[in-house]
Structure 1
Amino acid sequence: MENNQPIIVKRVKKNAGGHHGGAWKIAFADFATAMMAFFLVMWLMSSATPEQKKAISGYFQDPIGFTESASPHAIDLGGSPTPAPDRTLNPEIQDLTDSQDVDIDADQVESLADKLERERLELVLQELQNKVEENPELQRFKDQILFEITQDGLRIQIVDAENRPMFALGSANLQPYFEDILLAMADTIRAVPNKISISGHTDAKPFVGRGDFGNWELSANRANAARRALIAGGYADEQVARVVGYASSALFDRNDPFNPVNRRIDIVVLTKKAQRAIEGEQGGEEPPAPADGAAPGGAANEPLPAGQVRERLNIFEEGALQFDQLGNQ
């Protein structure tokens, strides 16, 4: 009898490529992310300061107090977050808001201010020297214009020459070229906030004239005439700290009291310390008399181009008040 039952053949499809699905990729990505986070935490722990570590610890112990009181970030470039006293859940966390005040050393502030001031005066000196070199009229008298930095500021000395006096004989009338020198300097001197002192000097030759008028009166009158010329050049009158006559008591050339260079006008752009001394405050000293054979001084560094000097002077003019205010606190 014939068997008509159908024959069923099962064929099993084998995976020749060995593909097991994409689950392993997700697991590997999670592992890589975890490792990256681990090394990031290790880097933060090695580079963070003790204060930052304390802030991080406080954040994880009491996130509510930290997020409500300050920055929502555990580490902020603007400062470390601190817990809010009225919202913190952990009373043992130290309130970081009561940080200790940083004491500013008064001597350090004064030293920084003096350094800035000296650099500013050196720039003024170089600008004045550049102006003398650039101006053909002033260049003719550059041997009579002396510059130096002293402990009390920038000293500008304009001295007499044998055949080229600054004033008419025995009077306080300015010669035209001397007036031009003062007018040219006024624009540069007023670029700094420092006050100035103006002093007049004569040689040892006695003044021949009225009995009640001598070298003391003559030197004071000449210093005041120089002040008027600077004011005419745009310099503020309130920036003049002192106008004084020394007669022949502080000779430029002590070996030759009758040397024409002893007849001179001194303009000192004062430091703040010297200004306070003049105004009766504590500190500062009287400007010393020039040494015998004194020569024009200058900045020790290489001279800057004229344009760069003027640019830096403008910067100092804007920033000087900040140091003055800091030093007065």
Structure 2
Amino acid sequence: MADEGLRPIIVKRIKKGGGGHHGGAWKIAYADFVTAMMAFFLLMWLLGSTAKGDLNGIAEYFKTPLKVAMAGGSGSGDANTVIPGGGKDLTRQDGQLRKGENEVVNKRTIRAAQQELERAERTRLDELKKRIEKAMDSNPTLKQFKNQLLIDITSEGLRIQIVDEKNRPMFGLASAQLQPYTRDILREIGKTLNDVPNKISLSGHTDATPYSSGEKGYSNWELSADRANASRRELIAGGMDESKMLRVVGLSSAVLLDKEDPFNPINRRISIIVMNKKAEEMVEKDGGSVNVSTDEEVQENLAVPTKN
């Protein structure tokens, strides 16, 4: 009992905060509320100002963010889009490319395709050239006229020229009447032209010998055009599809094969051009033209015989 009177008395006092409604805890809650509201309004603004396709792109981005990141879609500084990193087309999943890179890639691809088409076309024309030469060699009747057949590749395509010789003209004197052997040559050529899809340009040429009436009446212009059309008819008779003919012109003596001697019989000729794609497009355009056998090109591709 004596020990109980000596037991110490412990008094616990609880300190209460004196802030009450004057404290700062509510400010933290209010800041969180304002932040949430700002985020909500930003989300609503984005949804309202973004097209449906862009929304799909955004959705795809968040579905596969790692794929976009690994594909090189940085774009963190791209200010042209709502969501940085998406490029101009947000529906793309391969990441954005640097501005102008698409155009460069497309141009290179187009150019490579064009070069491949040109190589394939050149191969077809080379094969056609060989077939025509082989056909002339294998035909005993036509083989003797081989010297009058000039075949070469020009900037317009495969050019086949049938030229006069002094004692072996293709046409009757000052007329569009074909000689029998000229008809055979044209029909043999006509058989082979359907082997390629290319269009045909045909031109008639004369020497510089004028008509007695000069240029006022029937002249070398009309004669060269009539001879070109007569040749066109024989090509079709030989089996050439008439829809392949794109151009028939008479050039008189404007484009000479032997410039030094305008009266050389070799200047009287029929020129058949199996046109490449570029030449076809030039003709089909309004006001387009084809450079038909310029003097410089003739000298480069042919060894022109001179008159004895």
**TM superposition score category, shorter chain reference:** 0.5 to 0.7
Stretch moving more, 127-136 or 210-219: 210-219
Aligned with residue 226 of structure 2, among 216, 221, 224 = 221
Distance in 2 of aligned mates of 1:145 and 1:182: 11
Q: Is the 8 A contact 2:152 2:301 kept in 1?
A: no
Distance in 2 of aligned mates of 1:162 and 1:285: 29
Higher relative contact order (CA 8 A, sep 6+): 1
Q: In the alignment, which residue of structure 2 is the partner of 1:203?
A: 207
Q: Is the 8 A contact 2:203 2:271 kept in 1?
A: yes
**1:121 to 2:125 alignment:** yes
Equivalent runs, 1:50-199 vs 2, <5 Å? 91-94=64-67, 98-99=93-94, 103=106, 105=108, 106-199=110-203
Q: In the alignment, which residue of structure 2 is the partner of 1:267?
A: 272
CA drift at 1:138: 1.1
SS for the counterpart of 1:266 is strand
Aligned with residue 249 of structure 1, among 223, 236, 254 = 254
**1:295 to 2:302 alignment:** yes
Change (3 A) 1:99 1:207: farther
SS for the counterpart of 2:256 is coil
**1:238 to 2:211 alignment:** no
Stretch moving more, 204-213 or 170-179: 204-213
One-letter identity of the residue aligned with 1:227: R
CA drift at 1:286: 1.9
Distance in 2 of aligned mates of 1:116 and 1:278: 21
Q: Is the 8 A contact 1:276 1:282 kept in 2?
A: no
Identity of aligned residues (%): 44
Distance in 1 of aligned mates of 2:220 and 2:199: 26
Q: Any idea what the Cα deviations from partners look like across 1:96-152, whole Å, max 9, x if unmatched?
A: 994479746322221111111111111111111111111111101000000000011
Change (3 A) 1:91 1:215: closer
One-letter identity of the residue aligned with 1:250: V
CA drift at 1:92: 4.4
One-letter identity of the residue aligned with 2:262: P
CA drift at 1:295: 2.6
SS for the counterpart of 1:173 is coil
Distance in 1 of aligned mates of 2:64 and 2:124: 53
Q: Is the 8 A contact 2:149 2:160 kept in 1?
A: yes
Equivalent runs, 1:285-324 vs 2, <5 Å? 286-290=291-295, 291-292=298-299, 295=302
CA drift at 1:261: 0.3
Q: Any idea what the Cα deviations from partners look like across 1:171-229, whole Å, max 9, x if unmatched?
A: 11111110100100111111100001100000010124695200000000100110011
Stretch moving more, 201-210 or 180-189: 201-210
What TM-score, normalized by structure 2, do the two folds share?
Answer: 0.62
Distance in 1 of aligned mates of 2:143 and 2:182: 12
Rg larger in 1 or in 2? 2
Task: For structure 1, list consecutive stretches of 5 or more residues without a partner in the other structure.
Answer: 1-85, 297-329
Q: Any idea what the Cα deviations from partners look like across 1:9-56, whole Å, max 9, x if unmatched?
A: xxxxxxxxxxxxxxxxxxxxxxxxxxxxxxxxxxxxxxxxxxxxxxxx
CA drift at 1:257: 0.8
Distance in 2 of aligned mates of 1:251 and 1:151: 18
Change (3 A) 1:91 1:258: closer
Change (3 A) 1:190 1:91: closer
